[in-house]
Amino acid sequence: MKYVVIIPDGFADRPLGILKGRTPIEAANTPCMDEMARGGQVGLVNNVPRGMEPGSDVACMNLMGYDPKVYHTGRAPLEAVSLGVELGDDEIAFRANLVTVTEGMMVDYAAGHIKSGEAAVLIAALCEELAGEPLQLHAGTSYRHLMVTAESETLKARTTPPHDFTGKPLEGHWPRGKGAGFLRRVMDRSAEVLAGHDVNEVRVSLGENPANMIWLWGGGTRPHLPSFREKWGLNGAMITAVDLLRSLGMLTGLDILKVPGATGYLDTDYGAKGAAAVEALERHDIVVVHIEAPDEAGHGGKALAKLKSLERIDEEIVGPLAEMARGRGDVRVLISADHATPVELRTHTPEAVPFMLWGEGVEPNGAAAFCEIAAKDTGLREKKGHRLMARLLGREAAS
């Protein structure tokens, strides 16, 4: 048996006026997923345990079959893995977003999705100017970067992801509690360094958002997860353009497949991801395909872009995989949002999201389509997201 997990990040949503009271996936033309829904099982799953932040780190860990209540130590230390940053036992990693701040407002949590080359220049400038601080900065991809420190009290600080308050004042969202003073000092220093940097002057002249501050959040210590083979007895591969998911794949021993044209944004090459997944199943027991585009559209408040991304996922990723599965006859597929990213809120929310199981040995449960309403109407509910992997593998009793 072969297995596929498809994660259209943040696709779950709420009814929108611009879509005549429908959610993006309800309004989208998704014939492949709807046909699979009619032949499979559709329901709702809670991927965000009570008391935990509704981020992809928690939710995708759940979808990969690992209980975040047991294994999660923070978002940033997960991302450190894909950057090749090995944390010491006394070190804490923080996600460092390059952001756009204007007159005390969080204008853009992604600094206009700055290119990685430009971002690397800015991170290098910060490394030079902050050389006297007890920290190391590591350049990542686009706006996503990393800070590592041995200042132990920072682990107690409460931080807020910048995408949670886009368009709102910084006041009320700064780090707070023990260790927050150090984080605030670093963020303030970063604003001083980046304000007049040549890269930002060029960006402003081109009408682009400047990357004029780093925002620190998601701190944590080094995680320890058993490999996917140890836990489930299977070898697998991961297809994603996002550091966080790459790290989860690396930590669990999955092969990380590089797909040309995969960007982690709305312009990603959907067809290349679909083709890579079909090919990867020839060599692996399970393939996890993550697509960031719906989440980015949700954060941007772009309902039509979210709808279009789901249509392309359906046509260029789900369609080829379903066709391959029908030809083989020994394939099971799980499709699920990790969390919701409602367009009107432009941030993550923790409610239950739709999932679908389809393929060999899966009995239909009467769903008419794959969407939020259909998932609710079937009455199928999985309250612990990490159990979905056991469902997919036909091991309901597995841990």
Q: Running along the chain, 399 residues long, what does each successive block of 10 average in pLDDT?
A: 98 98 98 98 97 94 96 92 91 97 96 96 97 95 95 94 94 96 97 96 97 96 94 97 92 96 93 98 97 96 98 98 96 98 95 97 96 98 96 72
* Residue 265, helix vs strand vs coil: coil
- Here the tokens at position 292 are 């960031």
pLDDT at position 396 is 65
pLDDT at position 388 is 97
Report d(CA 257, CA 395) in Å as an integer: 27
Distance from chain centroid for Cα 174: 23
Task: Give the domains, in start order, of the chain with CATH numbers.
Answer: 2-71+225-392 (3.40.720.10), 82-220 (no CATH)
In the block, residue with structure tokens 């345990």: 49
pTM, entire model: 0.86
Q: Which residues have C-beta within 8 Å of that of residue 67, sequence separation ≥ 6?
A: 384, 386
Residues 36 and 356: beta-carbon distance below 8 Å: yes
Report d(CA 249, CA 93) in Å as an integer: 19
Report d(CA 7, CA 108) in Å as an integer: 25
Number of H helices, E strands in the chain: 16, 13
Report d(CA 226, CA 243) in Å as an integer: 19
